[in-house]
Structures are given as C-alpha cells and as structure tokens.
Chain A
C-alpha cells in the first residue's frame, strides 16, 4: 500500500519543484529549492529501490506505474546525476558562466525546465504502461530542447532545432513500434488489454513473433536517435557543445539511458516469442552498437572542441552499452548495466569539468587551454582523473564494466566482437587522453597563462563526489548494487 504513494510522491516532487521554480519571483528562492527537491526525489528513489530488492517488482494503479530491477538501474542513475547537476548548476550560474550575464527570467526558465526534465526522466523509468513509457521518453525532449537553447544565440538555436526535429521524428517511429507491439499482443490477450510491462512479460512467448520483431526494430531505430546511436546521433555533438555544462551532464548522464532503457525493455518483451526463429534482434542491436562505437571513435580523433569530444565519447559509450546488450549473454548484460552507471557518473563528472574549464579559460577550444594544473590545481586533478575514468583506465569503474562486456562476448564465443570492442576502446583511450593531457599538463607556446586562482567549492564538490563514486565502483561493487544488476540482467535475458 505504501509503494503507490511513494511512486506518486517521487513523481510529484520534481514536478512541483519545476512548477514552483517557474512561479516564484525571487531567484534566491529558486536556488534554495533546487537541492531539497532533488534530495527528496533521491531519497524516495533509494527507498523504492531498497523495497524492490527486498520484495521484487513494484506495480501500482493497474500497472500504469511499474518498477523492476531494470528500471531501478536507470532510476538510480537519473536521480543521482540530476541531484549533482542541480547542485552544480547553482554554483555554475553564480560563477557567471561563459561570461554570460544572466537576464531576468533566465533562471526561471532554467530551473523550471531543469526539474521538469528530471520529472520526465523519472516518469520514463517508473512507467508500467508501455505508451506511458513512450510518453515519458518523448517528453524528455521537450524539456531538454529549450535548455539546449539556453544561451539563446544562433548556434544554440541551431543545435536545439536539430535535436528537436530528429528526436521527434525518432519518437514517431518508436510510437509506430509501440502500436505494432500492441497488435502483437492481440492474438493472445484479446483486442482490449492492459498494455503494460508485467502483462506483456506474462504473454511472452505467445506474442505474434513477426510483429514483435518489427516493433522492436522500429523502437530501436526511433529511440536509437535519442540514445545517440549512429547514424542517428548527429544532434548529439551539436546539442552538447551548445548547452550549459550541467544540462550536458543530464543529457549524456541520464537522458540517453532512458532511451536505451526503452529499447532494451522492448527487446526483453519480444525476445521470448522470437527465440524459436533465428531472431536477429540482438544482432541488430549489436550492429548499431558497434557502428556507433566506430563512428564515435573516428570523430574523437582530431576533435578541436572539448565539449564535442565528450559528446562523441558518449556516442561511443552508448554504442558499447548497446553492443553489451546485443551480445545476448547474461555476463555481457550485467556489464552493459554496470556500464550505464559508471559511464553516467564519469561523463557527468567530465561535463562538470568542461564547465570548470570554461569558467577558468573562457573557451571550449582544446588548443586554447594549456597548463590547467598550474592555473587551478584542484580543478585540473579532477579533469585528468575524470579523463582517465572515462577512458576506462583501472582502477576506475568503467574498466570493470568494459572488461565485463568483453568477457561476456568471449564467453559467448563471439571472438571477433570481443576483439573489436577491445580495439575500439583502446583507440578511444588514446584519443581521449591526449587532448586532456595537453590541456592539463601542456606548456603551450609560451603565451601567458591566466592568473592562478582556484574555482569555488560549489563547482568542485559535485565532481569530487562523482570521482569518489566511480573510483569505489572500480574496486568494490556493493552487495545491493550487485543483486540489482543481476536481477536486471535476468529481466533483459528472459
């Protein structure tokens, strides 16, 4: 009885936070609302996750809302990233980012949409009805696109427009997929049934196999655009180079995972019916994943803008996650789920770093940033440690998750896939480390460095928290997290 209430309050908190941020007059109140709103959502999410781990999936309101281990992984990522991004936003805007003087009303827009963005992502993770899942993932776009346009000049508008048109086109293709998925259930469930995750899971093998397969492919292509899979990824580097740093952290760290969650969810629903035939569904996901990795790595090399560099790294990493699920082995699925968490933590950290570099050096061009270690040591350590983490060096969490995915491929006798992933990760490591190394330790051509001055605690603390988390995950996976990952992998590979 307590669970439906918890779910509702968890959804209502960011929604009310957004509405009140849009309504109140004073910016001070708006700033004061951010962290409490995020923390309440975080606490409710953790409570719900603990209850799922203890007693199994939670379902409420005739399956309109539903939360199982797979949802829980993404929910955890969403609430953690949004809490830290919220805290970072406050310090970032107070530090007069990008030399941008805030106009009246800009913070009203920013924080109103920020909380709504969180709300839509939480909705996507807790929805049980599959059309509600589509609605949640789709609604993230509408909150995020105006945030990408935040700085309001030509380039941000261009990025927001590309994002919006591509994402909406993708969402319509995904909706076609969901409608076909409904049709796939009619043969066994009747013409008017409860179109929800638990019902479809039970119907599993009795769904119309061919319709289910087409439905999955439509969702893969449609939401693949939102998840940053190549060749539909083109909005991603533009949006990430133009949006404020904390919004980039939300986009890369949380939103991409929501789209991936929907893709993997539909895959898990249609797999049982397609087991008998040669399938090809996992292979399609694997192919998109490997293509995205390859495209991401190619564009990592010789990238001149560090925010675009991080965006292409997201394309590569989402490709790796897709490939991990596409391999079709339980070990690889656990790796992909862990990768969702570790990548989100490390990528949010790196986008906070990108904001810090911008605050200190007033540029996003790689060649114009030199000797950060001498200008602001505490920020620079965070940059280089974060770069090592995102590149997958031990002892950071990404090393473990990437290693697990490759191990899953090898256990499945997919030698070429395992070797290919390893090779691409190796190239990505070099392509990522080289520019960040230059920015932090480089001497430059003798031009004077900015005066030595450390950034404030407000913009550094969220990064250090993320760094600690991703470091801990590299050496120790807590028991509850482990059982959540295993539970989620069982949902994926039914």
Chain B
C-alpha cells in the first residue's frame, strides 16, 4: 500500500508542474509523466490484488495517456511547441502557486468529510485525487495559452481516473475504456482546433479570441 501512496503523492507533486511551467512542450511532458504515475498506481494495485482489470487499466493508461496522447499533441501542434511559451498571464506565478496550495488543501480536507467506504486505497489518496482535479481545472482557467488549457483539462481528468481507482477498483473495465476513449477524442478535436488557431491568431494565445461580445 505504501507504493501506491508514494506514487499518488508524486502524482500530486507533478501536477504543480502545470502551474509553474511557462513552456508549452514542458506541459505536455508533465502530462506524460503524470499519466505514467497514474498507470503505475494501477499496476502496483494489480501486484497487490491480482485483479486482472487493474492490470489492463494500468496498461491502457500508460499506452494511451502516457504515450499516445502526448505524441498526438506533439504532432498536431508542433508549430506551437517549438520553443513556445506563454508570454502573458492572468495570474502571476507566486499567486498561482499560493492558490494551488490552497486548492490542494481544499481537496484533501473535502475528502475527509465524504461518507466514504475504503476499498483498496486509503482515504488520503481520495484527497490527492480531488486536489489533482482542482489543480487541473485551475490551470485551465488561469492560463491563456490554448495548449496549457488543454493539458490542464487532461490533468484534471487524470485526477478523476485516480479517484475512480479509489472509489471503484471494481468499476468495469469497459467503463474505464469509455472514459479514456472519450479523452482521446477530446484531444483529437482540441488538437484540430488548436491547429486552426495558427491561421486565425498566428499562435495559441486564446486572449486573442475576444471578438464575440454581448
């Protein structure tokens, strides 16, 4: 159980990377690392329990989210990733870090208040998953760059998949497949729109997208 807890804590730590980094390609790497850690949590759980579903889930996460999606992102939006960084921000770095710490605390505390039946993973991992979820959503809101917004959403989604491991390791594999497929399609559509931004705003800064009002 210690291994899973350590991996989850590491996963939360990696999520701060999204808040700190300004380099777009570094956010994609952060997502890849975060997904690998999530996959490893599932695989460690498999080693403890020998539930075949967890093995498949872990492999699915590592292959789709750890390898395939980062590669897709790198291919589709290569034009933006080359030395691309976010130049202007809504929230400055120290403030963002403080808000991030606050949100982590909210997630960890909220988990202790839920009427929760411990399954394989302890309640602290539930708190971590909620914290990761909140940090991901916060990154999406706080960032101006389209790619950082996408990786924020993807990070939040990893938090929810960790939560699904806590809440329902028995939740059918088909359901996990449905969720992961959904993310894959989301990335394809988002990649398509981000690629379109190259023509429209010559970059991926969404603060240029302010023509529609009223």
A183 to B117, CA, bound (A): 8
Please pick, from B116, B153, B164, B169, the residue contacting A165 in the complex, using a CB distance under 8 A: B153
The tally of residues in A whose CB lies under 8 Å from a CB in B reads 50
Please pick, from A154, A161, A192, A305, the residue contacting B206 in the complex, using a CB distance under 8 A: A161
B186 touches A142 (CB 8 A): yes
Per-position contact with A for B188-213: 1 when CB-CB < 8 Å, else 0? Answer: 11101100110011000010011110
A139 to B189, CA, bound (A): 11
A211 touches B153 (CB 8 A): no
A191 touches B189 (CB 8 A): no
- Interface status of A231 (Cβ within 8 A of chain B): no
Given contacts A165-B149, A172-B157, A192-B171, contact A157 B179 (CB under 8 A): no
Which residues of the partner chain A approach B163 to less than 8 Å between Cβ atoms?
176, 179
Which residue from chain A places its CB closest to the CB of B189 in the assembled complex?
A142
Please pick, from A138, A175, A191, A308, the residue contacting B119 in the complex, using a CB distance under 8 A: A191
Per-position contact with A for B149-172: 1 when CB-CB < 8 Å, else 0? Answer: 100010011001001100111111
Given contacts A129-B175, A165-B149, A210-B115, contact A241 B212 (CB under 8 A): yes
Which residues of the partner chain B approach A179 to less than 8 Å between Cβ atoms?
160, 163-164, 167-168
Q: Looking at A139, A303, A304, which has the most chain B CB atoms within 10 Å of its CB?
A: A139
Which residue from chain A places its CB closest to the CB of B157 in the assembled complex?
A172
A208 touches B115 (CB 8 A): yes
- Interface status of A48 (Cβ within 8 A of chain B): no
Which residues of the partner chain A approach B149 to less than 8 Å between Cβ atoms?
165
A423 to B202, CA, bound (A): 47
Per-position contact with A for B135-152: 1 when CB-CB < 8 Å, else 0? Answer: 011001000001001000
Per-position contact with B for A170-205: 1 when CB-CB < 8 Å, else 0? Answer: 001101100110110011000110010000000000
| Complex A-B, nearest 6 residue pairs according to Cβ-Cβ distance, in ascending order | A192-B170, A158-B209, A131-B175, A238-B212, A183-B167, A135-B178
27 contacts between A and B (CB under 8 A): A135-B181, A142-B186, A145-B193, A146-B192, A146-B193, A149-B193, A149-B196, A157-B197, A159-B212, A161-B146, A162-B209, A169-B156, A172-B133, A173-B137, A179-B164, A179-B167, A180-B114, A182-B171, A183-B167, A191-B169, A191-B170, A210-B115, A211-B116, A214-B114, A238-B212, A242-B212, A305-B214
